[in-house]
Amino acid sequence: MNVEKEFLDGKKRALKKLKKAHSENKVDQGILSLLDIINESDNYYTSSSCFGRIVLLEIPIIGDKKEAKFLGKWHRKINAEEIPSAVKNAETGQIWFLSQPPIIHIVAKTNNAAEKILKTAIASSFKNSGLKSLGKKIVIEVCSTERLDAPVGKDGFLFCSKDHLELLVNISNEIMKKSTLKLQKFEEKLRKDLNTYKTTI
């Protein structure tokens, strides 16, 4: 199959999937304008994304993602009082408190296009970004370094003190704040740069 046709077919499928997810309110609102900018370019499309989130997760066994259960999931800042409330849904297993940065997977038409948007991402402080795939699809993963993973309880009980829980929440909220600023910076740079990309590739 022609490389460009394969790219265009993949973009068509991805945008259809994104439109459906948007209609079902499954797309993080805070990242929509950035996705639109990327998808409007002839040289890119987004295959998946997350604005960043704070998560309370129950894990029966370390590494067992299939059986992991979300006790709470927030794409915003939270307060410490929300955690004990979410723990009430716990049953058996370790309880982990996570703060995860934004992540965006972008498919590029060419290696040159991939290199340029990757440089823009890194310049926007997404220092953990890199090439995810160089096979049939050229995929860039835009990601940051700030994150928090902390065990906080087991079998439905919190083991950490109120002060420690507040510390974790404050750190997580700071990560969310930094993530929002980085996304804004990335969006601003792309608004300026993508027209240039169209004429230079």
Mean pLDDT by runs of 10 across the 201 residues of the chain is 84 93 83 93 94 93 80 94 93 94 95 94 95 89 94 93 95 95 94 65 40
Q: What is the pTM of this model?
A: 0.88
What is the structure's pLDDT at 29? 82
What does R_g of the chain's alpha carbons equal in angstroms? 19
- Nearest to residue 108, comparing CAs of 152, 60, 140, 143? 140
Locus of tokens 């945008």: 15
pLDDT in the model for residue 36 = 93
Helix (H, G, I), strand (E, B) or coil at 145: coil
Ordered by start, the domain boundaries in the chain are 3-195
Q: Which among 54, 81, 72, 83 is positioned nearest to 179, based on CA atoms?
A: 54
Give the span between the Cα atoms of 187 and 96, in whole angstroms: 32
Q: Give backbone dihedrals phi and psi of 185, rounded to 5 degrees, phi first.
A: -65, -45
CATH number of 3-195: 3.30.1960.10
**Residue 199 has what pLDDT?**
42
DSSP assignment of 25-71: T-S-GGGHHHHHHHHHSTTEEEEEEE--EEEEEEESSTT--TT-EEE
103 CB-near residues (< 8 Å, 6+ apart): 48, 49, 50, 52, 141, 142, 143
What is residue 195's predicted lDDT score, i.e. its pLDDT?
67
Q: CA 55, 61, 62, 66 torsion: positive or negative?
A: negative
Token code pair at residue 162: 């109120």
